[in-house]
Chains A and B, each alone.
Chain A
Amino acid sequence: MTGAALEVDLTSSVPPFEQIRRQVSEHIAAGRLEPGERLPTIRDLAADLGIAPGTVARAYRELEAAGLVSTRRRTGTSVAPGAVAPHAAPRRAARHLVTLARASGMPDDEILDLVRDALTPPGTTAP
């Protein structure tokens, strides 16, 4: 199950459908939503956010027009196969590393040190 979530501020000057569209686009760009991953149904997402289903439907339509998601009658809306985030594989590997390191009890600053060490070419001293 994906950990991606979105937040809609009803007092914002940005319309709710645009907030949804933007955040889903960002999740796809960041690789948090991967190609083929199924998004919640319009009805479910509208119920969770307490907004009209038409608002979510409009956001999904615009995402579909941008080629980021595709909708099929049987499977619903999912991230389009072509909507690959740049550097998707390293992003996935980084998330995997963080999960593993946290599971082994490593604090976040030590995880960052680990990555810095890995970035340092052999034979040089880390800054």
Chain B
Amino acid sequence: MSSRPAEVQLEATNSAAEPAFLRIENVGKSFGAQRVLESISLDIQRGEFLTLLGESGSGKTTLLRIVAGFEQATAGQVFLEGQRLDTLPPHRRPIHTVFQSYALFPHMSVFDNVAYGLRVRGCDRTEAKSRAEAALAKVRMDSFAKHFPRQISGGQKQRVALARALVNRPKVLLLDEPLSALDANLRVEMQRELKLLQQDLGITFLFVTHDQSEALAISDRVVLLHKGKIEQCGTPREIYVRPRTAYSATFLGKSNLLRGVVKHGVADCGIFSLPTQLPDGPVVFSLRPEAIAPATASSGDSLVRFQARVRTEQFHGANTLLALQCAGGIELTARLAAPLGSGESHSFAFRAEDCIPLENSEKD
């Protein structure tokens, strides 16, 4: 077994006084011999925008489908406002879903799609009409009420699916990669709209995505799932600034992983030595590319300085990614505001406290 550095308390813990709105307790799921989810526990607060982030196969969609009721958990329980939820069939849960494929009914007009949830629950005719119209106006699709799903674009279908799921005023809205079928510009626009809508309505959103930048941009809290387990959970900033594991550090944004050995309060990472309080043994640090800066501009004793040659530069407009070749074969990535010129050797520096020690989640 790999050694574990001292436990780092990073998880955003909910205040004990406020009971969880949606509680997922030790939920596990297996398909035959294959374990998809391993004892997931999660408390979600009322009005929170929580994102389940993970690559395909991480179990994020399965967890969402368990909350929606389309899958049965093989272990654990789900509670909503203290009431058992996982024993109810989907149609009796006050939870609605926006599907990745939108799942609009092709034989119904946009209006009938939105009014569907009201009608099947026996809502009064005139009330259903006014509520469906209001929901369509909310997503600015009121002028398309008489259209059929095949006559509108992907972005418009997305809005209709949203209106249809919101018209019943669910307690929790589940969103299963709702933006993944949209092109890049529209996606950013819809992220902004979703966030505004969620703040406006105050409904709890449980959002599933594999896109880390999307998760960082819209969530109050991100749960990073990896191989059916919670890798890390916290606000986007917490996860980004203080990644717990190498997987967190590299899945959310770019990160340099520095391997070293600690001896008597000093971590030796080849060309650098960092002061640390970790016990003796091997260690891996995460260093974000933007923490590295040209040494000329900065000064101070806590800085770690090093010489490196710029191998390649990737210009991204707002910033530039530099591949740095240091002594001893170590390669680092730095993010600077402007290019330096590749092939040249420069002096760089970073602050020792920007090196975040990682837990070894796996033997990698």
A and B held together in a complex: no
